[in-house]
Amino acid sequence: MYADKIKDYKIKEDAIILAIESSCDETAAAVIKGGREILSSEIMSSSAEHIKFGGVVPEIASRAHTVAISLVVEKAIESAGITLKDLDAIAVTYGAGLLGAPLVGVSYAKTLAYSLGIPLVPVSHIRGHLSASYLENKELKPPFISLLASGGHTAIIHVKSYTEYQILGSTLDDAVGEAFDKVARVLGLSYPGGPNVERLAREGENNVKLPKMLKGEGGYNFSYSGLKTAVINYTHGKEQKGEEYKKADVASSFQSSAVDILVQKAVEASEEYGIKTITAGGGVVANGYLREGLEKACLKKGIKLVLPPKWLCTDNAAMIGAEGYIQYLKGNFADLDLNAKARVDLQ
Ligand code: KG4
Ligand code: ZN
């Protein structure tokens, strides 16, 4: 039996781990050595198939994963210059996600782990985003303050050790990426919204008055639904009155409101907790305005900033390998009854 096979498995410091990610519309595979060295990373996206629907259609994403997964894994193994026999473990995103989507990765990973007789390591996608920083800075060690900003999550986290997280604050309603995507739709921009809002914002100015975001009174919590509604009211109001307005100015003003607060709260947490390192992860961290804001604020305050490159902020499998390695060292192995989950806790 599989469980018996891996019972006496010996953990290796320099383990070569194949990581698989399929929680949303990216099918990705990566090979990571010793938790920090990326031997290969491959991504295929079905995002073009979702554009006409204005968002990810779960059924289409799942079908695309089933077509892409073998190809992506084969490419990752080949470009890492290894064979399947060299693998020490397989890490896979089991959630959070669209359920049918991570299920494809989980089924594939189970089959491969079983046939190779090596451990199957279940990985939370959210923790993966936070662990991308370990790939950017090989010396990075907890504790640090982490800003998580993705399509599903917005949070300021005190990472106490490789496995202990304290959430200092999170969003009370929409996630920041979700707000970007909704505002994109209001401005007539196509999916995926975030990068398109960023592009348009570069042509505009921050001159539209939008409501103040939760500051001191919110602790480290965030609220994005008021900001989103204000953008909707502003654009509809202008259209009803037949008044001209510049969409680029709305994009720029929204981006400033949505992003400045993330930078402020991350820096505040670093100061309050006396932790002089900040890291960031999640798709929104690919935003140039946020990256610049973090860089400037950390420089000014003498805080060390570990910012993964843009491709490690948006969905990828390398970050799943980095987090998978941490779980692997703990011996957190799954049996073949591992199932995909729509929601997972960060803790
Ligand atoms: O981390 P991610 O790829 O998937 C989740 O785990 O949610 O994040 C996707 C989110 C989307 O809401 C997308 O619009 C946003 O990240 N995003 C951006 C940018 N690139 C991706 N938001 C603002 N500016 C960007 N450049
Ligand atoms: Zn993600």
Residue 328 and residue 312: Cα distance in Å, rounded?
A: 21
Name the pLDDT band for 1 (thresholds 50, 70, 90): confident
Burial of 26 (0-12, 13-18, 19+ CB in 10 A): buried
Mean pLDDT of all residues in the chain?
A: 95
- Does residue 172 have a pLDDT over 90? yes
Q: Indicate whether residue 27 lines ligand 1 (CB < 6 A).
A: no
Q: Write out pLDDT tens, residues 249-299.
A: 999 999 999 999 999 999 999 999 999 999 999 999 999 999 999 999 999
- Using a pLDDT cut of 90, give the percent of the chain over it: 88
What pLDDT score was predicted for residue 54? 83
* Mutation probe of ligand 1 site: the residue of 22, 180, 197 with most atoms within 8 A of C-beta: 180
Q: Which of 56, 310, 314 to mutate to test the pocket of ligand 1 (most atoms within 8 A of CB)?
A: 314
Tell me, using a 6 A CB cutoff, whether residue 194 lines ligand 1: yes
Task: Tell me the mean pLDDT in the region 148-175.
Answer: 96
39 phi and psi angles, rounded to 5 deg: -85, -30
Average pLDDT over residues 160-169: 97
Tell me which residue has tokens 């892409």. 68
CA–CA distances in Å: residue 181 to residues 29, 64, 274, 293:
26, 22, 34, 21
Residue 347, pLDDT score: 63
- Amino acid 345: pLDDT: 83
pLDDT digits (tens, 9 = 90+) for 82-129: 999 999 999 999 998 888 999 999 999 999 999 999 999 999 999 999
User: Does the CB atom of residue 126 touch ligand 1 within 6 A?
Assistant: no
Report the pLDDT value the prediction gives residue 13, as an integer from 0 to 100. Answer: 97
Pocket test for ligand 1, best of 24, 199, 284, 312 (most atoms within 8 A of CB): 284
Q: How far is the CA of 69 from the centre of ligand 1 (A)?
A: 22
pTM listed for this prediction? 0.96
Ligand 1, atom 21: closest residue by C-alpha: 283
pLDDT of residue 216: 65
